[in-house]
Amino acid sequence: MTKINAAITAVGCYLPEYVLTNKELEQMVDTNDEWITTRTGIKERRILKGAGKGSSYMAIKASQNLLEKRGLNATEIDLVIVATATADMPVASTAVYVATEIGATNAFAFDLQAACSSFLYGMSVASAYIESGKYKKVLLIGSDKMSSIIDYTDRATCIIFGDAAGAVLFEPNHDGYGLQDELLRSDGIGRSYLKIDAGGSILPASAETVSNKQHYVFQDGKTVFKYAVSNMADVSEKIMERNNLTHNDVNWLAAHQANKRIIDATAHRMKLDDSKVLINIEKYGNTTSATLPLLLCDFEDQLKKGDNIIFASFGGGFTWGAIYLKWAYSK
Ligand code: UT7
């Protein structure tokens, strides 16, 4: 039997309509377009408005976009994974609800949480299920409603994040396309630098935690930045080395969109030309689990069968890693 690779065979995405620009943020906190643009590369981000809409709302829309583009009936899906740091609610799985709502009635489903690396880790998990030979169609969705955990009076975080969802379908491939190698890492030292203090089992919600604004994201940006730059570049360089890839062999870098300066540093270490670096941070900001599938969605037309793509991410925890994937189709 030939080796089974897990290939991405379809992509979909969803972007909320509301555009929050740097100009509008200038009215909300003490910041300015010039600072945000030069420090992060972000110009605007999307915000999901409307009561009762959580990450599942965007995950469902992104999945429906994928199913429609691919002409796939949801009953064919075996497994639905929702990568998210902003699940609809504690305990009840977001993925289970999404699977039911899209009509994936033959699938089992679960959530995967690894902060900004949720989608990258999800690629590893989805691929392992496919490579095992047990499952044929795994839907991996990255969806985050970051606006639900951001304090819009805190200029250190509110300028960075946005809401969005993206989805990919993994299927078996017997011709060598798909996931080739992965290098995933984590380090608990990161827990103090990027976190939400309250609302979990250590410090459950109370009137006091709410009034102290402990349900919002706290980030020590400078420290996270330092770890992100060195670790994301390290794994990206290592995965190239151990697969004997030079910068000429790599067609694209699809890196987590947290800060353009972090992406540039990674590309520099890989000796990659700017033209090979997929960037859309200026339009969406950091959408956590959605950044990688959003890149695939935006640049799908440019990706060619056989292209070598290096995916890389860094996020809270800390969690980080790189994946080497051979793209399986041309549009
Ligand atoms: O996706 C998960 C992983 N997360 C990341 O990878 C994010 C990593 N961190 C970063 O991207 C950057 O650290 C930030 C974009 C968050 C901040 O950029 P920075 O260059 O590290 O700025 P800083 O925090 O060192 O702040 C520099 C200055 C400070 O003023 P002083 O102390 O030098 O007077 C800040 O108070 O800029 C000030 N500042 C701002 N000024 C205008 C901080 N935020 C703002 C703001 N507008 N929004």
Per-residue pLDDT at 183: 98
Tell whether 160 and 216 lie within a shared domain.
Answer: no
Catalytic residues: 116, 256, 286
Would 113 be classed as within a structural domain? yes
Q: How far apart are CA 63 and CA 36, in angstroms?
A: 32
Say yes or no: CB of residue 261 within 6 Å of ligand 1: no
Tell whether 163 and 193 lie within a shared domain.
Answer: no
DSSP state for residue 116 in the 8-state scheme: B
Contact at 8 Å (CB) between 159 and 22?
yes
Per-residue pLDDT at 2: 82
Ligand 1 center to 221 CA (angstroms): 6
Tell whether 197 and 210 lie within a shared domain.
Answer: yes
* CATH number assigned to the domain comprising residue 145: 3.40.47.10
Ligand 1, pocket-test mutation among 35, 39, 231, most atoms within 8 A of CB: 39
Say yes or no: CB of residue 232 within 6 Å of ligand 1: no
Would 148 be classed as within a structural domain? yes
Single out the residue in 156, 176, 196 at which a domain terminates. Answer: 176
DSSP per-residue codes, 8-28: EEEEEEE--SEEEEHHHHHHH
Contact at 8 Å (CB) between 26 and 37?
no
Tell whether 9 and 111 lie within a shared domain.
Answer: yes
Per the structure, how many domains does the chain have?
A: 2
Would 188 be classed as within a structural domain? yes
Tell whether 151 and 216 lie within a shared domain.
Answer: no
Say yes or no: CB of residue 183 within 6 Å of ligand 1: no
Per-residue pLDDT at 212: 97
Tell whether 296 and 159 lie within a shared domain.
Answer: no
Per-residue pLDDT at 116: 98
Q: Which of 313, 12, 323 is nearest to 169 (CA)?
A: 12
Tell whether 91 and 215 lie within a shared domain.
Answer: no
The token duo for 258 is 């947290």
Single out the residue in 161, 176, 191 at which a domain terminates. Answer: 176
Tell whether 132 and 194 lie within a shared domain.
Answer: no
Say yes or no: CB of residue 155 within 6 Å of ligand 1: yes
Say yes or no: CB of residue 225 within 6 Å of ligand 1: yes
The number of C-alpha atoms within 13 Å of 254 and in the hemisphere containing its C-beta is 27
Tell whether 21 and 36 lie within a shared domain.
Answer: yes
Say yes or no: CB of residue 230 within 6 Å of ligand 1: no
At residue 193, the 3 state secondary structure works out as coil
Ligand 1 center to 271 CA (angstroms): 26
Ligand 1 center to 160 CA (angstroms): 10
The minimum-distance atom of ligand 1 relative to the CA of 259 is: 11
DSSP per-residue codes, 32-45: -HHHHHHHH---EE
Ligand 1 center to 161 CA (angstroms): 13
Q: How far apart are CA 56 and CA 61, in angstroms?
A: 8
Domain limits for position 153: 5-176
Q: How far apart are CA 140 and CA 145, in angstroms?
A: 17
The token duo for 74 is 């949801």
Would 211 be classed as within a structural domain? yes
Would 289 be classed as within a structural domain? yes
DSSP state for residue 305 in the 8-state scheme: T
Ligand 1 center to 216 CA (angstroms): 17
Tell whether 183 and 317 lie within a shared domain.
Answer: yes
Would 218 be classed as within a structural domain? yes
The amino acid at residue 37 is T
pLDDT tens track, the chain, 331 positions: 589 999 999 999 999 999 999 999 999 999 999 999 999 999 999 999 999 999 999 999 999 999 999 999 999 999 999 999 999 999 999 999 999 999 999 999 999 999 999 999 999 999 999 999 999 999 999 999 999 999 999 999 999 999 999 999 999 999 999 999 999 999 999 999 999 999 999 999 999 999 999 999 999 999 999 999 999 999 999 999 999 999 999 999 999 999 999 999 999 999 999 999 999 999 999 999 999 999 999 999 999 999 999 999 999 999 999 999 999 999 9
Would 223 be classed as within a structural domain? yes
At residue 270, the 3 state secondary structure works out as coil
Tell me the β-bridge partners of 116.
114
User: Ligand 1, atom 41: nearest CA belongs to which residue?
Assistant: 31
Tell whether 247 and 284 lie within a shared domain.
Answer: yes
The pairing of strands 79-83 and 108-112 is: parallel
CB atoms < 10 A from the CB of 78, how many? 16
Say yes or no: CB of residue 116 within 6 Å of ligand 1: yes
The minimum-distance atom of ligand 1 relative to the CA of 228 is: 6
Tell whether 162 and 115 lie within a shared domain.
Answer: yes
User: Ligand 1, atom 13: nearest CA belongs to which residue?
Assistant: 221
Single out the residue in 122, 157, 176 at which a domain terminates. Answer: 176
Would 331 be classed as within a structural domain? no
Ligand 1 center to 234 CA (angstroms): 23
